[in-house]
Amino acid sequence: MDRLRVAPTVGIVASVALVVALSIPYLLGVDGTGGYYGSGGVNPLLAGLFALVTIIVFAAGREERSDPQLAAGVALALGVFAVIVTLSWALTARVDAVQLTSAHRWVVVGAAGSVPLSAGWYARTLGVL
Structural domains of the chain, count: 1
Separation CA 27–CA 72 (nearest Å):
31
Greater pLDDT, 101 or 41: 41
| Distance set, CA 119 to CA 3, 37, 44, 83 (Å) | 14, 26, 20, 13
Separation CA 53–CA 92 (nearest Å):
25
Q: Which domain holds residue 37?
A: 3-126
- pTM of the predicted model, to two decimals? 0.95
pLDDT of residue 3: 76
Grouping H, G, I as helix, E, B as strand and the rest as coil, residue 13 is helix
Let me know: does 54 contact 46? Beta carbons within 8 Å: no
pLDDT of residue 11: 98
- The residues near 113 (Cβ < 8 Å, ≥ 6 apart) are 83
Q: How confident is the model at residue 79 (pLDDT cuts 50, 70, 90)?
A: very high
pLDDT of residue 1: 61
